[in-house]
Amino acid sequence: MKRTFVKFRNRGFRKFIRENSKYAPILFFTGGFIFDTLTLGRIDRAYDLTILCSHMTSLTIVLYLYNLADDGKWKNTFLERFEEYFPLAIQFFFGGLSSAYVIYFSRSVSLSKTISFFVILLALLFANELLKKRISNKYLQFSVYFFISFTFFTFMIPVIIKEMNTSVFILSGLVSLTITLLLITIIYRKSPSTREEIHIGKMLGIVFTMYATINIFYFFNMIPPVPLALDAGMVAHNIEKDNNSYLVTYERDDWYIFWRDHRLKFIHQPNESVFVFTSIFAPTQIKKSILHRWKWYNEQTEKWEVVDEIGYDITGGRNAGFRGYTYKDQVKPGLWKVDVVTEENLLLGVIDFEIIMNSSLKPKRVVQRRF
């Protein structure tokens, strides 16, 4: 009786998939995206590592099975009954892995210099919905796989080896490139239908072009330094350390500015220091040097001038981020911004504010918050 019920349920699911074949791929892609969005928290958690590694491993295996299915490799085997689900599984794992990177990427306060990379990420992820052949297009299939694996290893390897720098990024890219080329080579040799559909030279050209492009983005500081992320950043009137906490005194913005807590217009008092507070998430045991690059906008030259660079070290592992601050005593009125960067000059975020010097003005709605 139980076996009959399972068979009926499987037939019902198979019927649903066939009747909605046009929308099933995007549903499974979205399902993978939502699943990880709701369950993932921090990249160094055992759960997150297990889920993401299983996604990547399963995606690689299913891509292999799917590409050999057209050649009848799985006929008269137990895998034959699952063949129509292979493309849906691929979509699910694409969605799950891509959502992980978007989650960790979007934790940064500022997307300013890295927004172009974010747009490319989204364009590649949803490109399959714009093509008639969708996931059956092998050029698209292997291209998205390479991009997904590259982003996967760029935040996974630093977590595993507890180190993050340019050499680790290059290593991550080479690992991804090697695995992708190995998968393409194995499928190409074992699948006659793949050899008919793709030109191996063109496929390798696409992969190497993507590899070069991502590296160019990195060296031009257009890729966020995941797994590091700027959780909080603000300009403040005073900061004091109290035991293991930081008491940050700042001016709160108007109630209708719901997307930001602190005010960007800094009312400067005579002989007052200007503080910038940041809280940076970093995975456990990763140690990193962080710089606050203070910049002032010169209205005469219409250029940003670097006024000072002040650094401090962070050690990862704290849920709320590693806290730190810098300050300046002698400041000029006008527009300011503090770039929060790593020692490799990779941008974590930007804290913008305007300093107003007017003895008749007093800060309003000054509050103190514990971090």
Compute mean pLDDT per 10 residues along the chain, 371 residues long, and list them. 44 53 57 61 70 90 90 86 82 76 58 53 55 64 89 84 83 95 94 90 94 87 73 88 85 80 88 89 72 94 92 62 84 92 83 87 84 82
82, 117: one domain: yes
With beta carbons less than 8 A apart as the criterion, state whether 307 and 273 touch.
Answer: no
Q: What is the CA radius of gyration of the chain?
A: 25
133, 33: one domain: yes
pLDDT at 204: 93
- 27 belongs to a structural domain: yes
With beta carbons less than 8 A apart as the criterion, state whether 156 and 226 touch.
Answer: no
pTM equals: 0.71
294, 203: one domain: no
105, 186: one domain: yes
7, 105: one domain: yes
pLDDT at 296: 95
Beta pairing, strands 347-357 & 274-281: unpaired
153, 113: one domain: yes
Residues 6+ apart with CB under 8 A from 138: 67, 194, 197, 198, 203
- 90 belongs to a structural domain: yes
Q: What are phi and psi of 270, to 5 degrees?
A: -55, 135
Single residue among 219, 237, 271 that ends a domain in this structure: 219
169, 236: one domain: no
pLDDT at 19: 52
Structure tokens at 348: 């974590």
Q: Is 149 helix (H, G, I), strand (E, B) or coil?
A: helix
> What's the order of all strands across the beta sheet hosting 322-328?
229-236, 274-281, 322-328
- 329 belongs to a structural domain: yes
How many Å apart are CA 265 and CA 52, to the nearest integer?
A: 42
- 224 belongs to a structural domain: no
Counting the structural domains of the chain, the total is 2
With beta carbons less than 8 A apart as the criterion, state whether 294 and 307 touch.
Answer: yes
191, 335: one domain: no
Q: Is 1 helix (H, G, I), strand (E, B) or coil?
A: coil
68, 160: one domain: yes
How is residue 232 annotated by DSSP?
E
pLDDT at 1: 45
Look up the domain containing 45 and give its range: 2-219
96, 214: one domain: yes
- 167 belongs to a structural domain: yes
- 34 belongs to a structural domain: yes
Nearest to 278 by CA among 255, 305, 312: 312
Single residue among 219, 254, 272 that ends a domain in this structure: 219
With beta carbons less than 8 A apart as the criterion, state whether 309 and 345 touch.
Answer: no
Single residue among 185, 219, 253 that ends a domain in this structure: 219
Residue written as token pair 């002032």: 296
- 187 belongs to a structural domain: yes
151, 249: one domain: no
29, 76: one domain: yes
Structure tokens at 212: 């070069």
